[in-house]
Each structure stands twice: as structure tokens, then as C-alpha cells.
Amino acid sequence: MDQLCTWLAKQKQYYQQYCEGKTSCQKPHRIAKLESLGVTWAVRNAKWDIQYKKLVDFRNTYGTTIVPTKSFPDRNFSHWIIAQRAEYKAMKEGRDHNLDQDRIDRMNAVGFVWNVFDQKWREMYEELQKFRKEFGHVDVPEKYPANQPLAKWVGRQRLEYKMILEGEGMSKKCRLSQSRIKELQDIGFLF
């Protein structure tokens, strides 16, 4: 079995070189023959496509692409989700990554959320704007029964602002950026 695996890996290597134009194919009928046996040349692409289909199915079922990565029963899928976000972050930071534009476009087409934290922050900010529209201010009570998640979020923004003032702004626990501080201040938020 090991010899077969080694031989097949070598065929895939030759095929890759052929696709990249580094070598010519002397016997193209062999490619067709191997394909007829079910050989998948780009296993990584096939695996990616399988996980992508799961993402589309998840979005169609739940209406979101925010997969609960810590508790989702399909660990391969949840790890794939984490990996896509990590690759995207690496790309944004100018580091090596394995995402090509086609994959990014496909993910964007289904509304993939690349940064869950940013998305959640934006949703809560919109909730705060609704509160302001209804009540004329953004001073959400600490114990606001109509929207407890908003009350907690407002408290968190104040805590993170205090961390910045105390020099702890570079901590992983503090994600409040200067642009977010400005957004909050622009709607009358008092820290």
C-alpha cells in the first residue's frame, strides 16, 4: 500500500508540474485513465470545496455564516472556518497566506464574516443607535431589561476605555480602537 501511495503522490507531482508548464505531458491518455479511476489531482481544492459547501448549507439553514466554532459537532468544519479567518487576517497583515482571490470572492458571495468580533461590535453599535433614536441619548442603564446584551456591551466599552487610560490598551482584553472611540463619541457616548 505504501508503494501505491508513493507512486500516486509522484503522479500528482508530475501533474502539478505539467499544469504549471514546467514539463510536457508525453502520455495524456494516462491522465484521463487516472481520472476515470477517481483520482483527484488537487486534493486541497477538493477538500476546500467540501467545506465551502458545508458553509453554504449552514448559511442556508441558519441564516448566518457565524459558525459556533467551539461547540459545533463537525470539528473539521469548525477548524476550517477558523483557518479561513486566520488566513484572511494573515493576508490583511501582509503575511504569507493560502487564500486566493477566487476563494475570497466565493466566501464574500455567501456573506462570510471574516472577523466575528468586528461584526458583533458593529451590531451592538447599531443597537446603541436605535436606543439613541428611541430615547434621545446613549446612556444605557447598567441593568436594562429590554436589552441586557446592549447594557453589558456599553459597560464593556467603558471598561476598555478605562483600560486605555490606565495604559492597558495594548492588552488582548482591550479591543477598543481610536476609530471606535470616535464613533461612540460622535453619537454622544460618555465614557
99 vs 33, which has greater pLDDT?
99
Which residue type is seen at 92? K
Q: Rounded to an integer, what distance in angstroms lies between the CA atom of residue 121 and that of residue 129?
A: 12
Q: Give residue-wise pLDDT tens across range 133-147.
A: 999 999 999 999 999
- What is the C-alpha radius of gyration for the chain, rounded to an integer number of angstroms? 24
Measured CA to CA, the distance from residue 130 to residue 124 in angstroms comes to 10
pTM, two decimal places: 0.66
Distance CA 101, CA 72 (A): 27
Q: Write down the pLDDT at residue 42.
A: 63
DSSP 97: -
How buried is 169 (Cβ within 10 angstroms: 0-12 exposed, 13-18 middle, 19+ buried)? middle
